[in-house]
Amino acid sequence: MKKISALNGLMVAFIGLSLGTISCKKEGCTDPLATNYDNKANHDNGSCIYGPGVGPTTDFGGNITVPTTLEAGNYKVCDDVYVKSALTLKPGVTLNFCAGVKMYIEASGSMNAVGTAALPITLRGEVSTSGYWAGLGIESNNPLNVFDFVTIKDGGSYWAFEESTLHLNDDARLTMRNSTVSNSAGNGMYVLAGATLPSFSGNTFSSNALAGLNITSKQIGSLDAASNYNSANGEAVIYVRQADITAAQTWPATNAPLLLNGYTNVSSALTINPGATLYMGPGAELTIEASGSISAIGTASSPIQIQGQFSSAGYGAGVSVESNNPANKFNYVNMAHLGSYWAMEYSSIYVDGRLEIDNSSITNSNSWAIYVNGSSTLISNGATQVAAAGVMVTNSLTANGAGADADCIGGGCTVFFE
């Protein structure tokens, strides 16, 4: 009898242990991409439900060495993807990237991703966390590189892409329309000086930790006024790094200010549209060289703004005009917080050529509002001026000479004729 009792005890213990083990398994949907994902489930019971354009994942990754087309569907990417040939993504494709993974379009490759409003193409992190995957880099200058109705999100983790979700290398070429870059751990899109944007329209940059768009001066003329460059980004500007402008371009009025940094040398025709806003970073200077020109013509209702990024006298350097081109005109331009650089005599505008200015204002310059060098020509109210009074008939030059190292007194820091 004692032996039977001991056996019964062992059986009860075994059954209890088995039941305990079984009870630790929770069935449910274990796919994070499903609408009914259960983060407590540890055993998939096939109950996952997917939204439109999403379904069970197919593994994708590695080197793309032959022309490849992905049909509409849901793809999981857990290996770095190097595209060395033509890659085509059809409407409805969703690429879900694992942590730290990157995708790179090499010089020999291309990426054609043309979706529709109803069936967009999506590149995203498997988990919707900023910086979850490295991002997409493009080196190729193939005309087939076209993004239309594409959403790219959750990237920016890898330093090689400047902590951006979308990165264009020096030789890259990309047509980009109706597309969104969002939720980056750094900049949404980062463009090197040699990259080109043949067609760029209707895009949105939202909820990126830094600027939505980080470019050089050379790409400003490729931007459109209709895109949304700041929808809850960490920095409410289009960040512009220095580069020489050697081809004619027009700067549009964008919904986020252009923040110029460093020295932008212009040796061709530069046009700034009404309503455009330019912020100038510390010491930033826009120089119109002898072969260049600047036409900044706003309107009474849509003036052009050129000002230091912050309201400090002489925060940005300002504009230096070294060209004698008759196209050099400022009309309805408001300038403030400039005049930091000694070579411009601490002035907001330094004229070493020819400039016509009317209906414009300059305030809070470090020293002079306008400094006219030697035999340079300054035209206002339809005539060449040789005294400050003539310039101030059509312009407002007030509260200048505000810097600690100003070489003039505030009330008289209007125009200096050398």
pLDDT bin (cut points 50, 70, 90) of residue 342 is confident
Write the pLDDT tens digit of every residue in 355-404: 999 999 999 999 999 999 999 999 999 999 999 999 999 999 999 999 98
Q: What pLDDT was estimated at residue 207?
A: 98
Mean pLDDT of the chain: 92
Three-class SS of the chain: CHHHHHHHHHHHHHHHHHHHHHHCCCEECCCCCCCCCCCCCCEECCCCCCCCCCCCEEECCEEECCCEEECCEEEEECCCEEECCEEEECCCEEEEECCCCEEEECCCCEEEEECCCCCCEEEEECCCCCCCCCEEEECCCCCCCEEECEEEECCCCCHHHCCEEEEECCCCECEEECCEEECCCCEEEEECCCCECCCEECCEEECCCCECEEEEHHHHHHCCCCCEEEECCCECCEEEECCCECCCEEECCCCCCEEECCEEEECCEEEECCCCEEEECCCCEEEECCCCEEEEECCCCCCEEEEECCCCCCCECEEEECCCCCCCEEECEEEECECCCHHHCCCCEEECCEEEEECCEEECCCCCCEEECCCCEEEECCEECCCHHHHCCCCEEECCCCCCCCCCCHHHCCEEEC
* Residue ranges of domains in the chain: 31-236, 242-418
Write the pLDDT tens digit of every residue in 135-188: 999 999 999 999 999 999 999 997 879 999 999 999 999 999 999 999 999 999
Q: Which one has a higher pLDDT value, 409 or 269?
A: 269
Q: What pLDDT was estimated at residue 3?
A: 40
